């Protein structure tokens, strides 16, 4: 449906101001975000095209070029098409950063479980194309005081060296730490190397007086953690 076919009082922008943003469906919300000028009568069609192909939760997997090609429908792209895609990708990234801030550690709530760790970092880490190891630094009440990226690449003993793991913890006077890394495949089951490295780092933490509370592996839509699986 084109905008001109909708009565002015039922168009997305007017309904947002009259009824509130929560009353709009996904396509209407997306059309407002993508709108670059008032003459774009097909903006709802563009929104539906994106949602039909990627749904809402998979848009982040689309590349810049894929989105431009989809919007243009293989026709010559216009400047406004590039602007639409830049706006959309920027919104997704801001949403992920916002989610990271409010879902757990960054709002000064203590971490009490692996689920807290997963909620805190999943939006960021599940989209990584390589394995990334992060360390959450905690105070005496298990409240995060920082998250540090330690290594990029398949986790092994050379990348996950105790010196690098505990350097930031010592620098920030952390009382304890939690190890977190992702599996780009989406399968969060640990490898033998994951398990061995965890044991080595936990023992190193005991000697340094900085306890390793857990090791959480982030998959696509689930997680695994050492503490609950090695009692």
- In contact, 1 and 45? CB cutoff 8 Å: yes
pTM tops 0.85? no
Compute the CA torsion angle 94, 96, 98, 103 (nearest 10 deg): 180
In this predicted structure, the answer to whether residue 194 has a pLDDT above a threshold of 70 is yes
Taking only the tens place, the pLDDT of each residue in 140-184 is: 999 998 899 988 876 665 567 788 889 889 999 999 999 999 999
Other C-beta atoms lying within 10 Å of the C-beta of residue 9: 8
CATH class of residue range 109-229: alpha beta
- In contact, 190 and 217? CB cutoff 8 Å: yes
Residue with tokens 């895609």: 85
Pairing state between β 176-182 and 211-218? parallel
In this predicted structure, the answer to whether residue 127 has a pLDDT above a threshold of 70 is yes
Question: In 3D, which of 108, 101, 114 has the Cα closest to residue 143?
Answer: 108
Taking only the tens place, the pLDDT of each residue in 93-117 is: 888 777 766 654 555 788 999 999 9
**Domain-wise residue ranges, the chain:** 3-101, 109-229
* DSSP for residue 153: S
Taking only the tens place, the pLDDT of each residue in 22-49 is: 999 999 999 999 988 877 778 899 999 9
């Amino acid at each position: 449906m084109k905008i001109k076919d909708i009565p002015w009082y039922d168009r997305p922008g007017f309904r947002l101001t009259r009824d509130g943003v929560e009353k709009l469906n996904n396509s209407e919300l997306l059309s407002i975000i993508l709108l670059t000028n008032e003459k774009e009568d097909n903006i709802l069609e563009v929104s539906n095209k994106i949602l039909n192909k990627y749904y809402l939760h998979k848009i982040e997997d689309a590349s810049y070029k894929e989105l431009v090609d989809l919007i243009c429908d293989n026709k010559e792209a216009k400047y406004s098409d590039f602007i639409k895609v830049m706006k959309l990708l920027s919104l997704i990234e801001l949403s992920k950063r916002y989610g990271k801030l409010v879902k757990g550690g960054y709002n000064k709530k203590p971490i009490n479980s692996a689920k807290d760790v997963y909620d805190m970092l999943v939006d960021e880490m599940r989209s990584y194309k390589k394995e990334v190891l992060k360390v959450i630094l905690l105070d005496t009440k298990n409240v995060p005081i920082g998250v540090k990226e330690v290594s990029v690449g398949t986790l092994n003993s050379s990348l996950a060296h105790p010196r690098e793991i505990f350097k930031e913890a010592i620098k920030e006077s952390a009382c304890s730490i939690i190890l977190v890394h992702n599996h780009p495949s989406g399968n969060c089951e640990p490898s033998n190397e994951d398990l061995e490295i965890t044991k080595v780092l936990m023992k190193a933490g005991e000697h340094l007086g900085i306890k390793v509370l857990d090791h959480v592996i982030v998959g696509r839509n689930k997680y695994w953690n050492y503490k609950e699986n090695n009692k």
